[in-house]
Each structure stands twice: as C-alpha cells, then as structure tokens.
Structure 1
Amino acid sequence: MTSRPDTAGAGTNRQALSVPAFRRLSAAWVFTNFADSALYLTAAVWMKHLTGSDAAAGLVFACLGLPALLAPVTGWLADHLPRRGLLVAANAGSAAVVLPLLLVSDAAMAWLIYPVMFLYGTGSYLTSAAQSGLLKDLLEPRLLAPGNGLLTSIDQGLRIVSPLLGAGLFALWGMAPIVVLTVCCFAASALVLAGLPTSVVRAAPHSRPGFWTESVAGAVFLARHRVLRTATLAIVILVCGAGALNVTEFAAVDQGAGLPPEFISVLASVQGVFAIIGGLSAAAVIRRIGLSWCLRIGIAVFALGIPLLATASVPLFFLAVALAGTGVSLAVVSFNTLRQSETPSSLQGRTAAATQVVISLPQVASSALAAVLISVLDYRALTLAASVMCLAALLPLMQRRPSAPAVPDAPQPAADPAK
C-alpha cells in the first residue's frame, strides 16, 4: 500500500501550473470539455425536435450512460496501453464518431443519434480512466490536489458556458454547426495531447492473470483498501442523495417559488460559479486540514445547503446552490486525489473506471426513484430526505484510523503489485 498523503503538504495551483506537461493536459481538457458540454445536452434537445418525443430524447442520456457498464474494458485498456497514445486516440476517435451526425436531417434518420452517442460516451469514459493515471504520471504527489482542483474548475466553468453556446447555435442554425465545432475541439485536443513528452508518460505493466481477473482488479482494490472503501462508500451515499435533487429542484422552483422551469438554468449557473471557486480553493483547504477532513467538509457543506430548497425563498435557493457547488467540488477533488494517491500506477485506470460505475449507477437509480415518489409525496419531504441521505455520507468517514504522514515534498515510488 502507498503512503497516505492526507495532511498539510499539498502544493499550490501556481506550482501545478508551473509543470509544462500539466499545462498542456489542462489545455487539452479545455477543448475536450468544451466539446462535451456543448454536445451532450443539445443532442437530446435535437432528438426532441426531430421526433417530438420526450422518451426518445431521454434515451439519448441513456446511451451516454450505458458505456459505464463497459468500465472493466475501458479501465483495462487505460492500464495496459500507453496513456498519452490512448488519450490521443480517444479524442481523435470521438471526433470521427460524431461526424455521422451531419447525415441526420429528419426523423427517419434520428436513430443514428443513438449509436453515435453510445460510442461517444464510451470515448468519454475511456478518456476519464486514462487521464486519472496520466495525471499521477505527470505530477508529483503533493501537486495532485491542485491539479485535480484546476481540472475540476475547468470542467465546471465550461458546463456554464458551453450549453448556452450550444443552445444558441442550435436555435439559430440547427445542429450542424455544433457537430462541426465538436469535431474541431476533439481534434484540437488530440493534437495538444500528442505534444506531451513521452518521457513522462508511462504505460502500465502487463499482469499475468486472465482478462476478467485483471479487468475487475480496480473494483477489488477499492473494496479491500480500507481508506478507499470508506471514502467510496461515502461518495456513493452522497450521490444517492444528490440524485434525488435532479427531480425535486424542478418542483421547488415551480411549486415552491412559482417560477418557470427555465429558472433552473439560472440556479445551475450560480452553482457552477461556486463549483469553480470550490475547485480553485480545494488545494488550499487540503493543505490546511488534509484530504480526509476536506472530504468531510465538502459533504457537510453540500448536505446543509439542500434543505434551503424546501423554503420557497429565491434568495435561499441561491444560497443552497452556492453551498452545493462549493461542497461538491471540495468533495470531488479530495476524493479523486485520495484515490490517485493510494492507488498504484498500474491500477489507476481500473480504479477510476470502477469508481465511475459505483457512482453513476446509484445516482441514476436514485433519480428514477425520486421521479416515482414525487407523484405521491410532497417535494419538501423528498428534499429533506435527500439532505439526510447526504449527511449520512459522513458516517463511513467517522471510523477511527491511525494518523497519516504528511504529503511528501518529492515523488515517492508506490508499491506496485504487478511488479
């Protein structure tokens, strides 16, 4: 097991950005997220316009989520192929698979959107798994926290801008400009990533067990590692509570405040701004109080903001989403940093992929359950129940464990079970 970098020793955002390879990775991340944020929501809106069916539009999101079931394969690839080359290929491949959308002109061709979105989603999961290991390859341990914080802030910032741009382009000129923009962004990302120095990109060593044993090794590692097991359980409980908010937030705006559903986009923008602030400040918080306490505080801040959505007060709605945005970034950055720090390089892709599955599926299930319950229960009761669920995420983290050493000032070689 690796040493646990949990206390005040994290570097700063400036120090992370001083690493040329990380700056290049961040630039590629801007292009990738810009394309992703512009496409994923607009594709569902496009399907609605083509078919007039809410169900057909909803299936677009299902196609984007289904590749999570391929996590054993994507994680295995991320740990057995050179990560720089895999990221270049994934971005170039995403550009290629999106191009057929230019052939869709009416409802008769709308079916083509589904396989394209499935392949596109597969590329996104592959990129995420490979990037987890690449980030640890590029940065020394004490810079993982600011590195994750900066990437999270980029992600959240583009989630504010890109969907608005995508919606504007779609309203003015249809889907073709969005497809072309997406292709160009993924191609640019591939070119930027191709310039990463090969000396800092390490391919994971091949292991001897069979494919199935290797492919589930990430999930097994998470389950057997006491610190990561409890942290992952906490995040899973948190997203179960958060998943219900996808449903109750609409009811809070409509039934509670008497505002049109479009007001959700205003709240989402405010939440995104504070998520950026949370991501940029995460390294400083971790440096002061450590990873485990940053994770606890992030969960608590997120959970304490949720009950304010049951008040029917617009100012309190803004406070709720501000707390939610800040809290979720602190929790995500600290969890990702903890997972990367505790996981050997040869398992980075598989643990990242396993994490995607155990987080995505419960969140989808909780959203579906809330959609059923809201027809028979008051939205305020569901909102408060979601808050209690999120606070319950703190329970696994309350187990006592030995104190941990500080984040090292220089990279330390991790024990690698595959060697």
Structure 2
Amino acid sequence: MRAPVSARLGADFAKLWTASAVSNIGDGVTMAAGPLLVAAITIDPALVGGAVFVQQLPWLLFSLISGAYVDRLDRRRLVVVVNALRAVALAGLTLAVATDTVTVALVYAVFFLLGTGETLADTASGAFLPAIVAPERLATANARLMATFTVANQFVAKPLGAWLFVIAAAAPFGVNALTFAVAAALVATIRPIPAPPATPATSLRVEITEGVRWLWRHRLLRTLAVSMGLGNVVFCAAFAVFVLYVRERLGLSDVGYGFLLTTFAVGGLLGTLLAPRLQATFGAGTLLRAGLVVEVVTHVTLAITTTPLVAAGILVIFGMHTMVWGVIVVTLRQRVVPGHLMGRVGSVYSLLDLGGAALGSLLGGPFARIWGLTTPFWVAAAAMTLITIAAWHPLRNSPPPS
C-alpha cells in the first residue's frame, strides 16, 4: 500500500501517512486501555467519564490559542516537538502503572497533557497538508488519512489495547509512548514547509478574532461546525461511560468491549471506500443530512437494545457516516480557507466540534450515575432530532468539496 500512496501523493505525504498510521495505533491502544485503567481504580461512572473529559478539555481551553500559534510557527516542527513531549508524558504514566503507583489524579494529568498536545499537533497537521499535497489531490489524501485512522486507530488498536491491558496494565501506554516517538522522527524528515504569507504583527486576540469571524461568515462551515459541536455534546455524554454500558447492559468482557469498538472501524473503512462514489451519486448535501438522521437512529437503537450484535450493527452504520461526513467537511475546509488562516479557522471549528465533545464527556458520567446508563442515549436522540430539523435546510444545497 505504501508505494502507490507515495507515487500518487508524493514522498512527504507518504511520511506523514506513515506517521499517522503509527501514532493512530498508539492512540487507539490508549483510548481502549484508558477507560479500563480508570475503571480498575474506581467504579464511579463520573470518574470514568471524567477521564475522557480531561483529554478533551484542552480543546475548550486552548484550541483558539493553539490555532493562532499554528499560523505563527513552523507547523512541521511543531508537530515533531509535540509528539516528542507526548511520548515523554506517556512514558511517565507507563512507569506509574508498572510500579502500581498510578492514581486517578495522575491519569487525569497525563490525559490532560495529551489533549493539550493534540490541540497543537492536529491543528498543525491539518494546516500543512495543503502545502505537501496538490489541491486536486486533497480529497484523496484526506480519504487515505481517514482510512488509515479507521484501520489503525479503531480496527487494529482497540482490541489490541484491551488485550494488552489484560496481559499487563502498563503495556498499552508504553506502546503509545513508542508510537509518538516514531511519529515525531518520521515527520522530522518531511521537507521544510513554506511559511504562510507574512501578516502584520498583531495581538493573539486580534488574530483569534479574525479566524472566528471568517468561519462565522461562511454559512456552510458555520452550519457544519455548530451542528457537530452540539451533536458532540450529546454523543460524548452517551459514550463517556460506554465501557460501563458494554459491561452492564450488553454483558461483554473487557476484550469484548475492545472488539465492539472495532465496529466503528468496520463502518469507517467502508465509509472511506464508498465516500467518493456516494458523493458522486447523491451529492454532499444529501449525505450530510442523511448523516444527521443516522445519528438519531444510532442513539435510539443503543438506548433500546441489550443485544451485542444489534449494537455492533448500528455502530457499523454510524462509523460509515462519520467517515463520509469527515471526508466532505475536512476537504471543503482545506479548499476554501485561505492558507494564512488555516490554523485559526481550523481551531475555531475544532473548538465547537471537540469542545462539544469535552462538555458531553463531563455530563455523561453524572447523568448515567443518577438516571441510568441508557439515559444519555435517550437525551442524545432527542437533541439530535432537533439539530437535524434546524440544519436540514442550510445543508440542502451543500456544494461538494471541489
């Protein structure tokens, strides 16, 4: 697979693609093992959900600032430094777990650092992709990266993370530390990226405001960002305690939990493969609106079912939706946003998107503790119905990202 990617999209993209594959395996391992680690320390749903929240909290606190610095600094070097620092943080967590000195507070601290690094590295990566891939190949590049994310992060890493945790609790976090170090080394070999056009020196507040205004004036991007921001609040409220839902409602083991997470990947892989054909057949607007309906149906199904196979089936469909939606939205943003604003506009979008996820993760644990594990899914279904109605007309004539 690597040779065709390199031949079509260039050697620099091949390095970025490889670094993405490696780091996504590590990320997925930690995503599966992290909730298991916290659940091994405490059975409090609020504390389990809090572990997800602290990793997403930096998107609320720092995403706009990170976007401004991404537009100021060398984006390639920024990714390298951040990945190296994340490797160090995970090495420390690995040591604590191996020596049986880990606490919930330490897990929270490390996850917060990982999330902070993510606000910089992810924003920078998305911003410098158009500098190493020709405009007409952006959709293909994004689809390849998303397919790699699906296979590595969700299909391979999730069951691997659960299995490694069962074998040795420290192992998943050590693996993730190694993958970040390898990814940093790979990105360091990418040729220097031309700096964005110079702009007059201004304050961070002025630069951030410029990015906010640009996105808010773009009707389609504004609708997409607000829809997914609100959608992620309720989605992550439901999935913050997914590990407890899987254990107590579906009756699966820790390894079963890891394999159930791979259903996202199965659907996601299908979504990345089918996205171009689906868009050519139905158009971007129809796919975006259909995706909102899929979210409603997903939450209702998970609230009702106690059967693992039914849950797995709807998660496959949901995974397809997320990848199709992602390819359309990311490519559109990379095409229409000016290069010197790429980091700031991307960070505003991420603030709404991932900041919503952080708020949802904070709410999910208390909701589940007070009203039961299915309550967040019912709330999510109702909220997504309202979001779908509100966004239906603005998304009707959405242009393809070309």
Tell me if both proteins adopt one fold, taking TM over 0.5 as the criterion.
Answer: yes
Q: Deviations 1:122-172 (Å, cap 9, x if unpaired)?
A: 112211100111112222333222222222222222223223323333333
Question: Aligned match of 1:187 in 181, 188, 191?
Answer: 181
Alpha-carbon distance between aligned partners in 2 of 1:366 and 1:91, rounded to the nearest angstrom: 26
Change in 2 beyond 3 A, CA 1:387/1:108 = closer
Q: 1:74 maps to what in 2? A: 66
Contact preservation (8 Å) 1:65, 1:121 = yes
Question: Aligned match of 1:234 in 227, 230, 237?
Answer: 227
Tell me the amino acid that sits aligned with residue 34 of structure 1.
I
Alpha-carbon distance between aligned partners in 1 of 2:162 and 2:202, rounded to the nearest angstrom: 48
Q: Deviations 1:6-62 (Å, cap 9, x if unpaired)?
A: xxxxxxxx789711222221111011112222234434544554x546466554434
Unpaired stretches in structure 2, ≥5 consecutive residues: none
Q: 1:120 maps to what in 2? A: 114
Cα distance, 1:296 vs. partner? 2.3
Which range moves more in the overlay, 15-24 or 246-255?
246-255
Cα distance, 1:305 vs. partner? 3.9
Structure 2 residue 201 is the aligned partner of structure 1 residue 208: yes
Which range moves more in the overlay, 286-295 or 226-235?
286-295
Q: 2:85 maps to what in 1? A: 93
Structure 2 residue 238 is the aligned partner of structure 1 residue 245: yes
Question: Aligned match of 1:169 in 164, 170, 173?
Answer: 164
SS of equivalent to 2:202: coil
Change in 2 beyond 3 A, CA 1:384/1:212 = same
Structure 2 residue 52 is the aligned partner of structure 1 residue 61: yes
Tell me the amino acid that sits aligned with residue 224 of structure 1.
R
Question: Aligned match of 1:329 in 310, 316, 323?
Answer: 323
Q: 1:415 maps to what in 2? A: none
Contact preservation (8 Å) 1:278, 1:327 = yes
Alpha-carbon distance between aligned partners in 2 of 1:305 and 1:52, rounded to the nearest angstrom: 29
Change in 2 beyond 3 A, CA 1:253/1:188 = closer
Cα distance, 1:86 vs. partner? 1.5
Structure 2 residue 337 is the aligned partner of structure 1 residue 343: yes
Q: Computing the radius of gyration over CA atoms, which structure comes out larger, 1 or 2?
A: 1
SS of equivalent to 1:18: helix
Identity, % of aligned pairs?
Answer: 23
Contact preservation (8 Å) 2:50, 2:365 = no
Q: 1:153 maps to what in 2? A: 147
Return the structure number with greater helix share.
Answer: 2
Contact preservation (8 Å) 1:87, 1:130 = yes
Change in 2 beyond 3 A, CA 1:299/1:99 = same
Change in 2 beyond 3 A, CA 1:391/1:23 = farther
Contact preservation (8 Å) 2:87, 2:181 = yes
Change in 2 beyond 3 A, CA 1:357/1:131 = same
RMSD in angstroms over aligned alpha carbons? 3.4
Q: Deviations 1:215-248 (Å, cap 9, x if unpaired)?
A: 3432332212222111212222332442343269
Question: Aligned match of 1:304 in 291, 294, 297?
Answer: 297
Change in 2 beyond 3 A, CA 1:354/1:32 = same
Q: 1:19 maps to what in 2? A: 9
Which range moves more in the overlay, 379-388 or 80-89?
379-388
Which range moves more in the overlay, 385-394 or 208-217?
385-394
Q: 2:213 maps to what in 1? A: 220
Question: Aligned match of 1:36 in 23, 27, 36?
Answer: 27
Contact preservation (8 Å) 2:220, 2:395 = no
Alpha-carbon distance between aligned partners in 1 of 2:169 and 2:400, rounded to the nearest angstrom: 55
Unpaired stretches in structure 1, ≥5 consecutive residues: 1-13, 408-419
Q: How many residues align?
A: 390
Tell me the amino acid that sits aligned with residue 63 of structure 2.
A
Cα distance, 1:318 vs. partner? 3.3
Alpha-carbon distance between aligned partners in 2 of 1:188 and 1:386, rounded to the nearest angstrom: 38
Change in 2 beyond 3 A, CA 1:32/1:17 = farther
Which range moves more in the overlay, 201-210 or 322-331?
201-210
Tell me the amino acid that sits aligned with residue 213 of structure 2.
V
Contact preservation (8 Å) 1:99, 1:183 = yes
Tell me the amino acid that sits aligned with residue 21 of structure 2.
V
Tell me the TM-score normalized by structure 1.
0.79
Q: Deviations 1:93-131 (Å, cap 9, x if unpaired)?
A: 222333333542233777544433322221122111001
Pairing 1:129-144 to 2, within 5 Å after superposition = 129-144=123-138
Cα distance, 1:289 vs. partner? 4.2
